[in-house]
Amino acid sequence: MTPLPVTQETEQRLFFHNYARLPIAVTHGEGVWLVSDDGTRYLDMIAGIGVNALGYGDKRLVDAISAQAEKLIHASNLFMMQPQFELAEKLLALSGLSKVFFANSGTEAIEASIKIARKWAGQFGNPDKKEVLSLSNCFHGRTYGAMSLTAKPKYVDGFEPLLAGTGMINFNDISDLEERVSDKTAAVFIEIVQGEGGIHRISQPFIDRLKELREQYNFLIVADDIQAGCGRTGTFFSYTPLNAEPDLVCLAKPLGGGLPLSAVIGSDKVADVLSYGNHGTTFGGNPVACAAGIAMINAIHDDKLMENAETIGRYLNDEMQKLAAKHLQILDIRQYGLMIGITVNKEAKYYAAKALLKHVLVNATSVNVIRLLPPLTISREEAQHCIATLDEIFTEEGAE
């Protein structure tokens, strides 16, 4: 039987048109490189949009997945399973929090957190304490509740009406924060580093005031660490350096080592909010995905990948600053570990397309921001290859 051609024409025939896929059919990966069906190697500075923290082909990850798949692929949450227990214990030890709920994706973790926040707020006898707020320029997901917390019109237009009782606080605007929160507020959702929003970090004064207002009005702080967590910013949780002290934390993307897995981690404050039947998932906490998550966390610590994120991140930032002094196209650079945003003077997809032709994968976000989210395993030499490629692109454009 002739294999189905993996082409853009076939893709258009088979699927809803909701992905602007690159014209590459990938077959496998090696380290921080993706390989297409014609043998071309691409330096992957996207890492599956922040998922592949260990790059491709890590033997520990593959072995953990294979060993668990041979024993048990799925049994449902009607049963107790060792990989779930071990991964939950690791996450609680890392966070210092109290309880875990496993789901399959970041947006599901956000949905669960919305439900937990409203159920928690309901115990105080104020029927109006249902408001769930997020920050402008944010991204929390594409399911209904998560989309309602997401700021950008391109994600929400045409899907209204959105979830009632949601609203936005201007990012890093303390005056607007003070204006918006009240006794009606159940939770405030924050990304410490806004990834889809162009790599912008919350300020320390904003976090400090948010914590003070939490004490005054008794609401939850929910940290969306879906993209910035699991070591990407140089600490396992991105909120740690700012001492944000969230009541709920959402993890996903790299957590399952490339398999669908997310987690909601909660403090003592919310530990007893959910009761049997309040929330659930058929596949969340799948034992194979949890086994991968254990291997992923172990590798991050064993290989000192958080330290590597800091070291290579600083190197990329320093080299990009040199490029900025040389090329007028670069307007600003923001770097937190291996989350890097490069603001340019035109739509960033132009530069992403140019990089693709040179076999380097970068991402365009927030219209004019080149986003770099490489595997945490990236070496200095591989980072330099990315820098050299961007230098070529800016130089060639300047000569046109």
CATH code where residue 240 lies: 3.40.640.10
Per-residue pLDDT at 162: 93
What's the rounded Cα separation, in Å, for the pair 377 and 44? Answer: 11
Average pLDDT on 321-343 reads 98
Question: Is residue 112 domain-shared with residue 207, that is, in the same domain?
Answer: yes
Percent of the chain residues topping a pLDDT of 70: 100
Distance of CA 256 to the CA centre of its chain: 12
- Point out which residues pair with 135 in neighbouring strands: 169
Q: What pLDDT band is residue 267 in, cutting at 50, 70 and 90?
A: very high
Q: Structure tokens of 76?
A: 């449902």
Where among 302, 334, 350 does a domain terminate? Answer: 302
Rounded to two decimals, the pTM is 0.97
Q: Structure tokens of 137?
A: 């320029």
Q: Structure tokens of 90?
A: 């690791």
Q: What pLDDT band is residue 348 in, cutting at 50, 70 and 90?
A: very high
Average pLDDT on 232-254 reads 98
- For residue 105, being part of any structural domain is answered with yes
Range(s) of the domain holding residue 49: 8-57+304-399
Asked if residue 372 has pLDDT above 90, the reply is: yes
Asked if residue 61 has pLDDT above 90, the reply is: yes
Per-residue pLDDT at 152: 85
Q: What pLDDT band is residue 163 in, cutting at 50, 70 and 90?
A: very high
Length of the chain in residues, anyone? 400
CATH number, residue 319 = 3.90.1150.10
- For residue 64, being part of any structural domain is answered with no
> Strand 131-135 to strand 166-169: parallel, antiparallel, or no bridges (unpaired)?
parallel
Question: Is residue 369 domain-shared with residue 227, that is, in the same domain?
Answer: no
Q: What is the DSSP letter of 272?
A: T
- For residue 20, being part of any structural domain is answered with yes
Per-residue pLDDT at 151: 79
What's the rounded Cα separation, in Å, for the pair 104 and 368? Answer: 31
Q: Structure tokens of 180?
A: 């918006």
Question: Is residue 233 domain-shared with residue 137, that is, in the same domain?
Answer: yes
Where among 274, 302, 330 does a domain terminate? Answer: 302
251 touches 229 (CB < 8 A): yes
- For residue 65, being part of any structural domain is answered with no
- Radius of gyration over every alpha carbon of the chain, rounded to an integer in angstroms: 21
How high does pLDDT run on average in the chain? Answer: 97
Q: What pLDDT band is residue 365 in, cutting at 50, 70 and 90?
A: very high
Asked if residue 399 has pLDDT above 90, the reply is: no
Q: How many helices (H) and strands (E) does the chain have?
A: 13, 17
Where among 254, 278, 302 does a domain terminate? Answer: 302
Q: Structure tokens of 112?
A: 């669960």
312 touches 378 (CB < 8 A): yes
- For residue 3, being part of any structural domain is answered with no
Per-residue pLDDT at 3: 86
Question: Is residue 215 domain-shared with residue 321, that is, in the same domain?
Answer: no
CA atoms in the 13 A half-sphere facing the CB of 106: 22
43 touches 247 (CB < 8 A): no
Total structural domains in the chain?
2
* 174-233 per-position pLDDT tens digit: 999 999 999 999 999 999 999 999 999 999 999 999 999 999 999 999 999 999 999 999
Per-residue pLDDT at 1: 78
Per-residue pLDDT at 64: 98
- For residue 220, being part of any structural domain is answered with yes
Which of 291, 315, 293 is CA-nearest to residue 374? 315
Asked if residue 100 has pLDDT above 90, the reply is: yes
Question: Is residue 194 domain-shared with residue 332, that is, in the same domain?
Answer: no
